[in-house]
């Protein structure tokens, strides 16, 4: 993103992917990554989920729009986030 992107009112969503970190804050590929998705828009948005390696799987930990959807594995490479919601996912390590 560029600085000017933050000034565009029509941009109402944001996704953040963080790799696993050890207790000292150093990246550790043996620990799960996390994805945080925000949708402040008026409509649901489909986010593509990152693939660190072929077959990467994600577990939905939090869906602020529907608590019954939390703690389930996502079976696709994308996730629809409802308007005004956020979702937190954790990489499933085998």
CA gyration radius, the chain: 14
Instruction: Given CATH 1.10.260.40, say whether it is the number of domain 3-92.
Output: no
Q: What phi and psi values does residue 72 have, to the nearest 5 degrees?
A: -140, 150
Return averaged pLDDT per consecutive 10 residues of the chain, 94 residues in all: 72 90 90 94 94 87 90 89 96 87
55 sits in the region (left: phi over 0; alpha: psi -120 to 50; else beta) called: left
As given in the structure block, the two tokens for residue 39 are: 């949708």
Q: What ranges do the domains of the chain cover?
A: 3-92
What confidence score (pLDDT) does residue 1 get? Answer: 65
Q: How far is CA 43 from CA 6, 57, 91, in A?
A: 19, 26, 26
């Amino acid at each position: 993103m560029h600085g000017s992107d933050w000034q565009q009112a029509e941009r109402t969503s944001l996704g953040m992917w963080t790799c696993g970190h050890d207790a000292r804050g150093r990246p550790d590929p043996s620990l799960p990554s996390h994805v945080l998705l925000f949708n402040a828009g008026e409509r649901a948005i489909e986010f593509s989920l990152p693939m660190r390696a072929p077959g990467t799987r994600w577990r939905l930990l939090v869906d602020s729009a529907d608590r019954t959807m939390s703690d389930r594995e996502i079976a696709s490479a994308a996730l629809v986030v409802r308007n005004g919601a956020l979702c937190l996912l954790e990489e499933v390590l085998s």
